[in-house]
Structure formats: structure tokens, C-alpha cells
Structure 1
Amino acid sequence: MNLRQLEVFHAVMRAGTVTGAARLLGVTQPSVSTVLKHCEAQLRIPLFRRTGGRLHPTPEAEAILPDIEAIFARLDSVGRQLRDLKGGSIGTLSLAGAYPIANGYLAAAVASFMAERPGVRVVLQALASSELLDRVASREIELGVGLEPIVHPEVETEVLVSSGVACVMRDDHPLARQEEVAIRQLDGLPIITFLPRAPLRGYVDRALSEAGIVPRISVQVSMSMTGMALAFHGAGIALVEPFLLNTFPVPGLVARRLRPGIEMKTLLIRARSAPRSAIMGHFVAHLRREVPRLLGGEATRRDTSSQAVP
């Protein structure tokens, strides 16, 4: 029996008449009769006895019915799954973020997205920028979220949000009483910031230089989390991204904006010309709504324009 014959047989078993089966299938009565006749001729066994305008299934028809019903139950399941995939209620998100982003607002946005869509499954990785780019370019990951600058011939980017490097310090530090910290107030204070090879170190050095400050850098770190831990233990003021602290508060530790600000852009990173899943489209829309809320005052503006990376 081919699929069309199975479909007609199943409809006749449900309706009990050729007319009813034709109505279920949205076809003409003669077409149902023709398919049924060819099916019985091919099988060389009768499937129905015709009495009083109704079709009565033979024992052979009753014997194969459970298996055929199972087939159509699976087809219904596939149909529901396709509708759910289109609607973004199921599927798999394959994501990666730079360390402070993945452990900060990206994790928070994934959690709230999954709360609305319990059928969604997620792979979320925290990676160094170079590894993040390689994974996206090779299409091992559908979406990356990282800090500028991003330069790779196989990826394209969109700006997700602009925010700034902040002063992270103990809440009993004298500068913690201020809503903003002027960069010149850091003169002479122990500073914790990134290693020279880190992308954001250049931003920090330039801002300090423009303020006429020769920084007293006491500790250099590779990760924002390490800088925050050092600030918590009193080693100085950490000039780092406050992403993690915004979404995963540490009692006794605060972040204060710098004046003038040290702006940085967070980028959505995708493989160039890669197909985009429906579920990822729904997640990106959710992420764009959630990030300004999660970052609060740290999110200065949002730019959704697309830019291709040369």
C-alpha cells in the first residue's frame, strides 16, 4: 500500500462510507472509490464488504488498522512539530558568548526565553573571542554574542547594544557613594584592568590618557570576573564590563558609570549566508527586548542595523 492508499483506507475506516471519506479528504467520491478498488486489486484481498450503502471492514482490514493508525498518529505528530518549529515553541538554540556576556545577560535571556517555551533546548557556551569567531564561522554555533572589534571574513555582525566599561568596587569604597565616577578621580588609585592583549584594554588606556592620567595599574587580568573578585577583596577598582554584575549581583560589590564614558558595542555574530532557524529569530527578538532591561543604565543605546564584516 502506498501513502495515498493508506490515507484513503484510513479515511474510509473513520467515516464508514465512501462519501464521508471523500469529505474528510477533500476529494471526489469517485476518486476514493478508484483508489480503494486499485488497493484491493493490488493486495488481492478484500478490505471492505459493501452492504446497505456502507462499507464494513473485513477481518484483514481490522488486522492492519492499528499499524495504519500508528502511522497517521506519527504524521500528526510531525505536523504539530512543524507548526511548533514555525512558531518558535520548540527547537534547539546553539549559542556562544564572550565570557562576561555568556555568564551575564545572555544566560538570563536564555532562562526567560525557556520559561516561555519549555520545549526549547539550548546549547550555551562561554568562549574566548577568537574561539567564538571560529565556532561561528565553521557553523558549529548558529549565533555568537561578543564585543567589538570583530574581524573575520566568514562572519557578519549586527550591533545588539552599546554600553560602557564601569568602575567596579566594594560598596564601602569612598567613590561608591557617587552615581558616576569622573575618570580624573582615578588618578593615583590602584586600578585593576585587562591584560594588554585584551580588546578592551586599548579603550581603557585611551580614556585614561585623554584624561591626562598615568594609571596606577596594580593588577592585570584576562577575565572581568577575576577583576571583580579582586575588587571585592580590596585590591583596587576594576575597570571592566559590568555585564556579569548587572545580572548576577554580588553582595558588597557595586558598579558605577565612568564620565566620560568608555563605550563598547556588543555584536550579534553569524556565519555569512548561513540559514537562520525560526527559533533563533524568535530568540534574537527576545534578546533585543531583554538586554536593555537587564543592563539598565549601562545600556546607552541600541543599533539594530546590519553590517558586513570585511
Structure 2
Amino acid sequence: MTHALRLRQLEALMAVTLHGSMTRGAQELGISQPAVSRLLSDLRDVLGFNLFNRRDGRLVPTQEVRYLLPDIRRVLDMMTQISEVSQNITDKKAGHLSIACLPGFATSHLPGVVASFLRDRPGVSVTLEPDRPERILEWMVGEQYDFGITDGFEGHPAVESEHIDIRTVCVFPTGHRLSARKVIGPRDLADENLIHTRRDSTFFRDLNEAFQKTNTAINSLVESRQFTAACELVCAGVGVSVVSALDAHKYVGRGLDHRPFAPAIPHRLSLVRPTLKQPSMISLEFMEVFTESLAPYRMG
């Protein structure tokens, strides 16, 4: 072969093979009969053998062409599949998402957002990896994931971020005396066993400052990194807690009640992604959808 094969030549060969006629093959391809004839003539020159014999008024493929037909069908089928997948990618209905998140998100808010996002995108697959904030930062710097959901993020030159302040509430067991309050402050919790985040977290420092300003001591009982774990402990009657409204919402009707906490202490979420990794269209769309899902819980 002195010249490369062209896809249009193979399409012309298959159309004429199927219909046994240059005219009908041209109609299927939406081009003129002379154009089909020219494509097949060029293909014959490339391959070096005749493509058709005429029999009873029909064009019948030669034995050499019959030998090639299974491979030609596979090529055309593959090109059709590539075209369809490409269109799905353009329509944001195909692709892959890799998301790193805080462990609590993997079992609370995020699954519902992912399920809703995938419902109309059957060609999209997802990798979801929960871990601690330090590990999520490592993954973003290493460009191992498209998108991360973390907290306590203080910035990094290799990571782009968007910060979202989520309202916090006081959670307590259903029927607890605190249910009589419309708003709960530090003094209301003076005699309560408190379940709180780790002492080295920004959120605990803000919470502790609010207690100090009212000269109220924190009656610390359990220290936990995750708000979801705190909610589970509250449901079990271990104590009360101040957590993200996002996490508290998932436990309403499951033995937990909540009220706004004052002074307002935000839980700052950071949506992060690698600076130098070009985001796909599907990942940008998911980040937008996820951000919108947080609207009911944002401060202000």
C-alpha cells in the first residue's frame, strides 16, 4: 500500500457491499454516485486488488474483500462508538470523576448528590475516596484526584480552593430539655456533656473561644474528628454537640433534634482541586452541582 486507508473509503465499501449498488450506497452515505465510485477506485488502488464483481446486476464483494469485512465492521463500529462517547462527553453525560472527601461526607451529604448527578448520566463513573484533610491535600498536590472536599485548609500554591461557610447547630437527643430553647448558647450547655471536634481543629478553637467569652467551661466528654460520629453519639444519648447543620440535617427523625447555636460559628468547608491539572467538563459540572447543593446550609 502506497497510501493510508481513509475511513470514508471503508464506509463506501460497506455501503455498496450491503446494498449491491453504487447508487443505493451513495444514497445511504448522502453523497453522489460518482463520489462513491471515486472512493472505491482510490481504495482499490490502496489495497491492490479488485473490490467487486458484477453478478446478476448486483455488485458482489470479491473473496479478498469478504476476508476483510469482519475487521472493517469492527473498525466502523468502533468509530461509531467513539463518536457516541465523544458526543456524551460534550453533553457531559460520560466521563470519570475522582473525588476525595472527608470521611463524614462519604456517608452523609455526598452520596445523595452523587446519586442525583449520575441519574441522568449513565456514561459517568465515579471514584470516591474518604480520608483525613492532610491526605486530601497530598492527593491534590499530586494531582491524583479531580476534586476534594475538606476543612481546615489554609492554602497551597499547587491547589485552587473555594471556601464555603456552613451554619452550625447544637444537636441533642429528641425530648431533651434543650428542645424548649429557640437558640442555644454556651451557658445553656454548662451542665451538659459535650462531644466536640479535635482540640487542634480550627472549629474547636472557635467554639472554645465562644465559651470563654461567656466564662463558661466546656464539659468535655468525647473528642471526635467527624461531625457524623458526634451525631451518632448524641443519638445514643452520650451527650450533646455543636456540629455542621449539613450533618445534623441527616439525623432529623433519627433520635436527634437541633437548634441554632449562638454566637454563629461557621464550619468552613474547602472545595479544592489541583491548580495545574486541567479539569474535565464533567468535573467542573459536578463541582458546580455540589456547590449548589450546599446552598440551604450556608451562612448568610
| Structure-1-length-normalised TM-score | 0.83
Tell me the residue number matched to 1:299: 298
Aligned pairs (5 A) from 1:120-159: 120-159=124-163
Question: What amino acid is the match of 1:170?
Answer: P
**Structural mapping, 1:131-210, within 5 Å:** 131-159=135-163, 161-210=164-213
Cα distance in structure 2, aligned partners of 1:125 and 1:250: 28
Tell me the secondary structure at the aligned position of residue 238 of structure 2.
coil
1:177-232 superposed Cα distances (whole Å, 9 cap, x missing partner): 33421333223433221221123111211222233323222332232233223323
SS in 2 for 1:166: strand
- Report sequence identity in percent: 25
Which range moves more in the overlay, 96-105 or 48-57?
48-57
Matched residues in 2 for 1:118 and 1:18: separation?
39
Gaps of 5+ in 1: 302-310
Query: In the alignment, which residue of structure 2 is the partner of 1:90?
Result: 94
Is 1:246 aligned to 2:249, yes or no? Answer: yes
Q: Deviation string for 1:132-169 (max 9, x for gaps)?
A: 1111221111100122433222101123x421232121
Quote the offset at 1:272 in angstroms: 0.5
Is 1:117 the equivalent of 2:121? Answer: yes
SS in 2 for 1:139: coil
Shift of 1:19: 5.2
Q: Relative to structure 2, which stretch is displaced further, 95-104 or 16-25?
A: 16-25
Q: Larger strand proportion, structure 1 or 2?
A: 1
TM-score norm. by structure 2 comes to 0.85
Task: Call closer, same or farther: CA 1:211–1:149 in 2, change over 3 Å.
Answer: farther
2:240 aligned partner:
237
Tell whether the 8 Å contact from 2:195 to 2:221 is kept in structure 1 after alignment: yes
Question: Does the 8 Å CA contact 1:191/1:219 hold for their aligned counterparts?
Answer: yes
Letter in 2 for 1:285: E
Distance 1:37 1:111 in 2: 53
Give the 3 Å change call, closer, same or farther, for CA 44–101 of structure 1 in structure 2: closer
RMSD: 2.8
Q: Secondary structure at the match of 2:175?
A: coil
Q: Does 1:78 align with 2:78?
A: no
Distance, in Å, in 1 between the alignment partners of 2:98 and 2:124 is 11
Secondary structure at the residue paired with 2:95?
strand
Instruction: Call closer, same or farther: CA 1:136–1:215 in 2, change over 3 Å.
Output: same
Deviation, 1:17, is 4.4
Q: Which moved more, 1:168-177 or 1:14-23?
A: 14-23
Of 76-85 and 162-171, the range deviating more from structure 2: 162-171
In structure 2, the CA distance between the partners of 1:200 and 1:277, relative to structure 1 (3 Å rule), is same
Q: Do residues 284 (structure 1) and 283 (structure 2) align? A: no
CA distance in 1, matches of 2:225, 2:108: 17
Q: Which amino acid aligns with 2:166?
A: S
Mark the CA change 1:139 to 1:221 in structure 2 (over 3 Å): closer, same or farther.
same
Q: Secondary structure at the match of 1:289?
A: helix
Q: Give the gaps of 5 or more residues in structure 2.
A: none
**What one-letter code is carried by the residue in structure 2 that aligns with 1:227?**
A
* 8 A Cα contact 1:169 1:255, kept in partner: yes
